[in-house]
Amino acid sequence: MKGTAVATETATPLVILGAGYTGRVVYEKGIARGLAVLATSRHPDHHLPSIPPEHRVRFDLGDRTTWRNLPSDCHLLWCFPAEPLALVQEFAAAMNLIAHRLVILGSTSAYQMTSPRDYPPPWVDETAPLDITKLRVQGEEWLRTCCRAIVLRVAGIYGPGRNPLKWIKQGRVGPSRKYVNLIHVEDLAEICLVALERGVPGEAYNVSDGSPRTWQDICRLAREQFGVQLVVEVEDRSIGKRIDNGKLLSLLAQAGAPLLHTDLLQSLKQIVVAEPFNEAAP
């Protein structure tokens, strides 16, 4: 699937399984490029009002009767946790997923935590041990190894409607030494399309902007640059992770699609200008 392709009646469609915050941005980018894109939801008419009815599909992994709503020949972007494993396996067999181009949105929480004694935490690349006790990790790894899915292990997503400044203002986060890794939703949507086109089947890619920061640093930036006052003091002694995105950058370089949001301050300024502290639904 090429990013410059023009959709036709016979084009292989891209189906976004669970078109939430990220999926809707992928949809917009895909349509803008002339791709054939379908977006799914358990309640598409309620959750996808901005998407034309002819592009909405009702799909619920837990409702087998909705599986037949998906086209038999399609590329798939899986945007929700791939669990429970038995149901994921049943769906994979019913859809013959190994024959599809499949990208899974996972999470960097899949990696095991490092010892609090290791501070700052070591860099984590795709070879780091996974926490296979997590149900979604079990599903993602099965799809990667058995269906040749491409797994994107995604850092914290922010962007319009998901403003870290508001998280601080609401007291959801506070200053701590914990490292956080972020990715702007616009970059993530582009990465999804690049992975569908160029990602190596059966491989995993860490997705972050490559600049881990502590919540102390982000809270300081919020206070000094935007006047956001802290609501909570945090005694969280966890150290977080520092995610290595080198493998992703190599993939993006091949596609000529560099990350556009690596400067958190500038990105936050853009969000504030566009919608001062307004937060959309996930």
pLDDT at 276: 64
Residue 80 has pLDDT above 70, yes or no: yes
Residues 110-119, mean pLDDT to the nearest whole number: 90
Task: Compute and round to an integer the Cα radius of gyration of the chain.
Answer: 19
Residue 42 has pLDDT above 80, yes or no: yes
pLDDT at 233: 77
192 CB-side CA count, 13 A: 32
pLDDT at 277: 55
pLDDT at 117: 86
Domains in the chain, CATH or no CATH each? 81-274 (3.40.50.720)
Closest CA to 187 of 243, 270, 123, 262: 262
The phi and psi torsions of 203 (rounded to 5 degrees) equal -105, 160
Q: How confident is the model at residue 237 (pLDDT cuts 50, 70, 90)?
A: confident
274 CB-side CA count, 13 A: 13
Residues 207-216, mean pLDDT to the nearest whole number: 97
Q: What is the 3-state secondary structure (H, E, C) of the chain?
A: CCCCCCCCCCCCCEEEECCCHHHHHHHHHHHHCCCCEEEEECCHHHHCCCCCHHHEEECCCCCHHHHHHCCCCCEEEECCCCCCHHHHHHHHHHHCHHHCCEEEEEEHHHECCCCCCCCCCCEECCCCCECCCCHHHHHHHHHHHHHCCEEEEECEEEECCECHHHHHHCCCCCCCCCEECEEEHHHHHHHHHHHHHHCCCCCEEEECCCCCEEHHHHHHHHHHHHCCCCCCCCCCCCCECEECCHHHHHHHHHHCCCCCCCCHHHHHHHHHHHCCCCCCCC
Structure tokens at 130: 């996974």
Strands 242-243 and 123-124 turn out to be: parallel
Structure tokens at 191: 């990465």
The total of other beta-carbon atoms located within 10 Å of residue 60's CB is 15
pLDDT at 6: 35
* Cα gap 158→251, rounded to integer Å: 22
Residue 3 has pLDDT above 50, yes or no: no
Residue 269 has pLDDT above 70, yes or no: yes
Residue owning tokens 């269906």: 147
The length of the chain, given as a count of residues: 282
Residue 224 has pLDDT above 80, yes or no: yes
CB-based contacts of 151, cutoff 8 Å, min separation 6 = 103, 104, 106, 140, 141, 143, 144, 203, 204, 205
